[in-house]
Amino acid sequence: MVKALREEVKRLFEEKKVDLVIGWGKGSIPMTATPIFIRKAEDAEHLIWDETCSNNLAVYLTKDKRQLVKTNQKIGIVVKGCDGRSLVLYAVENQIKRENLVIIGVPCSGVIDKKKVLKQTAGKEVISARFEENRMTVEGRGFKTEIEKSEVLSHSCRNCNHPNAPVYDIFIGEPVKTESVGDVYPEVEAFEKLDSEARWKDMVESYSKCIRCYACRNVCPSCYCTECFVDQNDPQWIGKSPEITDTLIFHLGRNLHVAGRCVECGACERACPADIDLLKLNRKISKEILERFNFTAGLDINEKPAMASFCENEKQDFIMG
Amino acid sequence: MIKGNLVQETKKKKDWQPKILAILCNWCSYAGADLAGVSRIQYPPNIRVLRVPCSGRVDPMFIMKSLQNGFDGVLVSGCHPGDCHYLSGNFNARRKFAVLKPLLEYVGIEAERVQFSWVSAGEGERFAEVVTKITNDVYKVGPAKRLVKGVVSW
């Protein structure tokens, strides 16, 4: 698989089809992959593709004030299902030119969340990790354990309905067969069943851990405003106090800004240093938008985003009768 | 609808009165409120009106911020679908509210606090009904405690 990927990228450079390829390389610490920017055919040797490649590489096209896209170079990008959906979102929102991209799809069966592995080893440092089919072996000083891959799978990868990029130019290997995962939002539904008091308590408990580092925003592929509403001073939307209300309004505001645009790649959750279940809100919105408007973000390049379109006769049960 | 009775009733209870922000669109609901006024229709005096050019102008952030700053409830009212002065402002607003309302409920804000309605310029009577309903609803759930900005507790 990795060999095929490297050869494909090498071929792209030799045929001069790309000026730059963004992919994953081996990270300097175990269980991490690092984004790499390849500009020469021989550097394709550094590419990898495995369970540790969790970064959503699409962000590099829009972050840093879209500098990379503005140069108009041909960019090759290696994508999982969710990253591919981000690219579709960018195309829909006119952030990229589709013809300037060479999308290289890879089959994804879920990436791991390093924080979850560290929980399994009780915080002990992992020196080496090896992956087999459904298991991983981690080794550290004085211990060696085997962990089921499903236990350390990133939260977003559970109930994933879109493991392959919806739009691609080249696909490495065979696309992962999409099995119907049934109920897509079981956690959301379970949470909805609690009473309002319990829900509020749970929210306060989990979100008071937030240290407002804004890592979730910085890593989010859908958050690419030149000036974010949290950074605005006039009007100041978000108070700077450590109170739960400011924190919650930040998270609610951010979630509403990515409503109908979130591809649920889970990058926010993996980046969160406070280990908050951030997808809880995103998934609620995705569920609501799917049920009401029958829309899922980042699947169809010709479909208008849910929050930028409307239908005259849609359901309005929430309006006072 | 109990209109007048509620005014009497709430006057008796001197303990607490709900404070409700009514965000009204300039072309329909604001005129509807005006009509209710000039027709001398009685409704609870618990709303503070904020006039906006269109319900599409209402950012969900306005609603969250007003709850944070101490309003017990927020009412957003615009033109009926199809009657928007700007043709599609209220359709866009409806999409925003369709997501905002369940989301606020989901995090534990009582459903009664944030409500939406369509009131046209000719519906003074209806405006009074809508205000009475939200006042009653908010009165039942009591003063807002969640999301309200208080003193920082370290």
For chains A and B, count residue pairs whose Cβ atoms are closer than 8 Å: 111
Evaluate whether A113 touches A144 at the Cβ level (below 8 Å).
no
More confident residue, A8 or A68: A8
How far is Cα A146 from Cα A137, in angstroms, rounded to an integer?
A: 4
Instruction: Give the alpha-carbon dihedral of A13, A17, A22, A27, to 10 degrees.
Output: -20
**Helical ranges in chain A per DSSP H:** 2-14, 59-62, 67-70, 81-92, 114-120, 149-152, 186-193, 196-207, 215-219, 244-257, 267-271, 279-293
In this model, does residue A266 exceed pLDDT 70?
Answer: yes
DSSP state of B40: T
Average pLDDT score over residue span B20-40: 96
Residues of A in contact with B68 (CB under 8 A): 239, 245-246, 249
Average pLDDT score over residue span B31-54: 96
Domains of chain B: 18-141 (3.40.50.960)
Q: Which two tokens stand for residue A187?
A: 């956690």
Q: Please return the burial class of A87, using the count of CB atoms within 10 Å of its CB with bins 0-12, 13-18 and 19+.
A: buried
Q: What is the DSSP string of B70-111?
A: T-SEEEEEEPPTT--TTSSHHHHHHHHHHHHHHHHHHHT--T
Nearest-neighbour CA in chain A from B69: distance (Å): 10
Give the pLDDT score at A217. 93
How far is Cα A158 from Cα A285, in angstroms, rounded to an integer?
A: 17
In this model, does residue A179 exceed pLDDT 60?
Answer: yes
Among the residue ranges A19-33, A149-163, B98-112, the one predicted with the least confidence is A149-163
Give the pLDDT score at B2. 43
In this model, does residue A206 exceed pLDDT 60?
Answer: yes
Average pLDDT score over residue span A186-195: 91
Closest by CA position to A86, among listed A162, A5, A154, A31: A162
Find which of A205, A210, A238, A245 to mutate to test the B interface (most B CBs within 10 Å of its CB): A245
User: How many beta carbons lie within 10 A of that of residue B89, not counting itself?
Assistant: 21
B100 touching A (Cβ < 8 Å): yes
Evaluate whether A80 touches A22 at the Cβ level (below 8 Å).
no
Let me know the angle formed at the C-alpha of A227 by A221 and A232, rounded to the nearest 5 degrees. Answer: 130
A319 touching B (Cβ < 8 Å): yes
Average pLDDT score over residue span B59-67: 94
A131 touching B (Cβ < 8 Å): no
Q: Which amino acid is at B109?
A: I
A246 touching B (Cβ < 8 Å): yes
Residues of A in contact with B79 (CB under 8 A): none
pLDDT tens readout for residues A107-162: 998 899 988 888 888 888 888 888 888 888 888 888 888 888 888 899 888 888 88
Average pLDDT score over residue span B58-74: 93
Residues of B in contact with A314 (CB under 8 A): 94, 98
Q: Which of A197, A248, A306 sits opposite B147 (nearest CB)?
A: A248
In this model, does residue A235 exceed pLDDT 90?
Answer: no
- What is the Cβ-side half-sphere exposure of residue B107, based on CA atoms within 13 angstroms? 29
Q: What is the DSSP string of A176-229?
A: PP----S-S-HHHHHHHHS-HHHHHHHHHHHHTT-----HHHHH-TT---SS-T
Q: Which of A191, A245, A253 sits opposite B147 (nearest CB)?
A: A245
Give the pLDDT score at B13. 53
pLDDT tens readout for residues B112-127: 999 999 999 999 999 9
In this model, does residue A183 exceed pLDDT 80?
Answer: no
Q: What are the backbone dihedrals phi and psi of residue A229, each rounded to the nearest 5 degrees, phi first?
A: -65, -25
Evaluate whether B94 touches A319 at the Cβ level (below 8 Å).
yes
Residue A139's alpha-carbon distances to A25, A38, A154, A303, in angstroms, are: 21, 31, 20, 47
B70 touching A (Cβ < 8 Å): no
B88 touching A (Cβ < 8 Å): yes
Tell me the Ramachandran region of residue B73: left when phi exceeds 0, alpha when psi lies from -120 to 50, beta otherwise. beta
Nearest-neighbour CA in chain A from B95: distance (Å): 6
pLDDT tens readout for residues A83-115: 999 999 999 999 999 999 999 999 998 899 988
Nearest-neighbour CA in chain A from B52: distance (Å): 17
Structural domain spans, chain A: 2-113+153-308, 114-152
Give the pLDDT score at B125. 95
More confident residue, A231 or A183: A231
Average pLDDT score over residue span A243-268: 93
Instruction: Give the alpha-carbon dihedral of B26, B115, A256, A285, to 10 degrees.
Output: -140
